[in-house]
Amino acid sequence: MSAEAAFSLPVSPEAPRFSPPESPRRAAAEREKRWTIAATQPEAEELARAASLPSVVAELLVARGIRTVAEAELFLSPRFDALHDPYSMRGMQAAVDRIQRAIDKQEKILIYGDYDVDGTIAIVLLKTAIEILGGVCDFHVPHRLRDGYGMQAAQLTQAAGDGVRLAISVDNGIRAFAAAEEAARLGLDLIVTDHHLPDAAAGIPAALAVLNPNQPECGYPCKHLCGAGVAFKLAQALLEAKDGERARAKLLPSFLKLLAIATVADAVPLLGENRVFAALGIEQLSRPVQPGLRALMELAEIQPYPHRLTARDIGFRLAPRLNAAGRMDVASDVVELFTTRDPVQARTLAEKLHRLNTERRNTEQDALVEIERRLAEDESLTAARCLVLDGETWHRGVIGILASRVVDRTGKPALVLTHEDGEAYGSGRSVAGFHLLDAIATCGDLFTRFGGHAHAVGFSLPSARVPELRARLQAYAAENISEESLAGEIRCDAELPLDRLTPALESWLHRFAPYGMENLEPVFLARRVRVHGSPRIMKERHIRLRLSQGPGPVSHPAVGWNLAEKLQGLQIEENSLLDVAYKLRQNDGGFSNGMELEIVEFRPAEWAG
């Protein structure tokens, strides 16, 4: 999965802009969304009493699968000592033994990674651990466009020729059957570490050890580690075997900063061990020590301590810069950035990533303008329930992001394709309630290759077949997507009237961060709130206003991204009564209690049922 998939929904101030008039976003906004509120959890009352929690806090915890006081405590205060024993992961002992032998005999080790944030950080973590232990190790990052994803047999042949005796895959390899065969033929020992699902029919590749919590018979308790998470567990086992105390007190905690970036960027569920990685790592990220991280954070304009970082800072600021390397060029720069000790080199590399990200954004923006024009002009697209958009010159590295943007703007599932020498390469993103992989599988005969999951897909096919793909998919979508799921849904986690917001409750709710997959930022519903004073429009697109509820004199500052048009269209003004779906946000700009509301959606209160 990718960061774009996870972060495509909130329209961030950093997201690129479509030209406002006649934008497809408006068309989507005009369709009235369905408002739903989560059912109250029967166990919540019990938990609230047992753990002395406010009831809304208990509701949110139970909705995240938390039942006991101990689980609640760990969720609200993640601790390093809650990490699982690495040896409960199948294959760990064999992997540790072989790597230790390689270190003892000074055999050259090759780490084979991937070109995204997860894959590059996985390399950095394992390489650092092996080097701390005195091992010799090289790494390989595939080129996204030239090599594609996964381990290539030819690379192993070359490595063996260069004297490598042990290869370790990180964030890939669980389906690398050909590469594993080649390794065996070369007499090269192979350790696979991965988190992707194994092929149900073909099983796992033959290797000296396979570490993957998702392989059959692996009893590891946290099944949703990212690739860097699996690499971290291996690093943990290696370092603890040497000097457990030093590893736990110093080395491993220092790994958590990068691990948190990978965990958030790879969009794995932020629960269980992942939550510990993300929470502790993000906390430390506000005081970066490493030159590469410092340089990157400076260029990404992330405010230093005492400002507290959020998962959004990672998702919107750090991850795109790190991913830009793999999209536009070669991702090995990310590994260099995070392993160099030289501040000058770190700065140079960070600047390169920053520049590539700007280039990526411009490339994306140019394509979006073109897509925007087509959406406005081509009426068949307005009617279609699934969009298939192809371009001659769109950069293959950004088509996934483009698909996410189109989904954001139109509320429809979208496939974006680009042509290269008679072959079309595509990436697709879906909306809730429409299984995109199932959908494209109905056109399986058209593709050269395809894969993915419910939410996101990737594929290629001969360019000449694109019109047929479009026609068949649109016919399928017309049958299988309801008008309702296109309109979208405003999901509220709980009803929370504004007059119940106290600083104490706000600090409880603050402990639910960091947010990500399966721990989404809670959205609350407040009915019949009053607009206090005149709303202000910012940059023609956003709104800032104060909202109050009940007889008290308190009003709360609120902000709403991209809601200006709707506010004006509905003639909302002072004293209007609204239902609002909102999130609570820490604001550093000095508003009351530092908290403000972020309005997700509003509607005039008289529509309320």
Residues found near Mn ion in the complex (CB under 5 A): 118, 171, 227, 266
Q: Which residues pair with 525 in a beta bridge?
A: 495, 581
Least Å from the CB of residue 177 to Mn ion: 19
**Interhelix angle for 273-285 vs 252-265, to 10°?**
110
Q: Residue 173 or residue 205: which is nearer to Mn ion going by CB? A: 173
Least Å from the CB of residue 547 to Mn ion: 41
| Nearest Cα residue to 293 out of 275, 309, 273, 276 | 309
- Residue of this chain nearest to Mn ion (CB atom): 118
Contacts 24+ apart (CB under 8 A), 519-523: 519/64, 519/269, 519/270, 519/271, 519/275, 521/583, 522/60, 522/493, 522/494, 522/583, 522/584, 523/490, 523/491, 523/492, 523/493, 523/581, 523/582, 523/583, 523/600
Q: Residue 171 or residue 333: which is nearer to Mn ion going by CB? A: 171
Q: Residue 4 or residue 171: which is nearer to Mn ion going by CB? A: 171
Least Å from the CB of residue 318 to Mn ion: 16
Q: Which residue matches tokens 């405003």?
A: 490
Instruction: Say how far apart CA 144 and CA 396 lie, in whole Å.
Output: 9
Q: Residue 229 or residue 411: which is nearer to Mn ion going by CB? A: 229
**Interhelix angle for 399-410 vs 343-377, to 10°?**
50
Pairing, β 136-140 against β 108-112? parallel
Q: Tokens in use for 126?
A: 């394992």
Q: Which residue matches tokens 């691990």?
A: 259
Q: How far is CA 121 from the centre of its chain?
A: 14
Least Å from the CB of residue 257 to Mn ion: 18
Q: Residue 267 or residue 440: which is nearer to Mn ion going by CB? A: 267
Q: Tokens in use for 466?
A: 């694109």
Q: Residue 227 or residue 288: which is nearer to Mn ion going by CB? A: 227
Q: Residue 193 or residue 555: which is nearer to Mn ion going by CB? A: 193
Q: Tokens in use for 258?
A: 């990068």
| Nearest Cα residue to 232 out of 92, 77, 78, 79 | 92
Q: Does the CA dihedral 309-268-276-174 come out positive or negative?
A: negative
Backbone dihedral angles phi then psi of residue 546, each to the nearest 5 degrees: -115, 145
Q: Residue 266 or residue 596: which is nearer to Mn ion going by CB? A: 266
Least Å from the CB of residue 1 to Mn ion: 7
CB 62 within 8 A of CB 41: yes
| Nearest Cα residue to 595 out of 498, 506, 500 | 506
Least Å from the CB of residue 485 to Mn ion: 28
Q: Which amino acid is at 427?
A: S
Q: How far is CA 460 from the centre of its chain?
A: 24
Least Å from the CB of residue 545 to Mn ion: 41
Least Å from the CB of residue 436 to Mn ion: 19
Least Å from the CB of residue 204 to Mn ion: 17
Q: Residue 58 or residue 234: which is nearer to Mn ion going by CB? A: 234
Instruction: Please enumerate in sequence order all residues whose Cβ is within 8 A of that of 505, keeping only pairs 6 or more positions apart, or say none.
Output: 54, 56, 57
Least Å from the CB of residue 5 to Mn ion: 12
Q: Residue 240 or residue 266: which is nearer to Mn ion going by CB? A: 266
Pairing, β 555-560 against β 595-604? parallel
Q: Residue 24 or residue 227: which is nearer to Mn ion going by CB? A: 227
Cite the DSSP H helix spans in 205-312.
227-246, 252-265, 273-285, 291-299, 311-312
Backbone dihedral angles phi then psi of residue 20, each to the nearest 5 degrees: -65, -50
DSSP assignment of 133-172, as one string? TT-EEEEE---TTTT-SS--HHHHHHHHHTTEEEEEE-S-
Least Å from the CB of residue 228 to Mn ion: 7
Q: Residue 2 or residue 23: which is nearer to Mn ion going by CB? A: 2
- 163-189 b/e (C-beta count within 10 Å ≥ 16 → b): ebbbbbbbbbbbbbbebbebbeebebb
Least Å from the CB of residue 310 to Mn ion: 21
DSSP state of 397: G
Least Å from the CB of residue 551 to Mn ion: 52
Least Å from the CB of residue 2 to Mn ion: 9
Q: Residue 173 or residue 291: which is nearer to Mn ion going by CB? A: 173
Least Å from the CB of residue 201 to Mn ion: 22
DSSP state of 197: P
Q: Residue 321 or residue 472: which is nearer to Mn ion going by CB? A: 321
Pairing, β 423-429 against β 456-462? antiparallel
Q: Residue 170 or residue 381: which is nearer to Mn ion going by CB? A: 170
